[in-house]
C-alpha cells in the first residue's frame, strides 16, 4: 500500500471539499470511521488537504474489538 501511494498518491473524490465545507457551514459534524490506524489515517487525510475538515476520527487502534467482530 505504501509503495502504491508513494507512486500514485491518494485520489480525493470529486466534491469532497464542497460537501465538507457545506456540512461545517451548516453546523453538521463530520467524522471518519476506519479500520486503519490513527497515524496513517491522519497522514492520508492530510495529504489530500481534508484532515482539518473532520470533527472526529474513529480509527482501528481506538476500539477494543475491530474487524471482523466490531
Q: Where are the domains of the chain?
A: 2-62
Residues facing 32 on adjacent strands: 57
Superfamily of domain 2-62: HAD superfamily/HAD-like (3.40.50.1000)
Contact 15/41 with Cβ under 8 angstroms? Answer: no
Task: Say what the pLDDT of residue 1 is.
Answer: 84
Mean pLDDT across the stretch 21-36?
96
Task: Say what the pLDDT of residue 41 is.
Answer: 96
* pLDDT tens by residue, 38-70: 999 999 999 999 999 999 999 999 998 877 876
- The C-alpha cell at 33 is 470511521
Mean pLDDT across the stretch 4-28?
95
Amino acid at each position: 500500500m505504501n509503495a502504491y501511494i508513494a507512486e500514485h498518491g491518494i485520489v480525493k473524490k470529486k466534491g469532497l471539499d464542497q460537501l465538507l465545507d457545506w456540512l461545517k457551514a451548516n453546523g453538521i459534524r463530520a467524522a471518519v470511521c476506519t479500520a486503519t490506524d490513527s497515524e496513517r489515517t491522519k497522514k492520508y487525510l492530510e495529504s489530500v488537504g481534508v484532515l482539518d475538515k473532520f470533527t472526529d476520527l474513529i480509527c482501528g487502534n481506538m476500539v477494543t474489538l475491530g474487524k471482523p467482530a466490531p
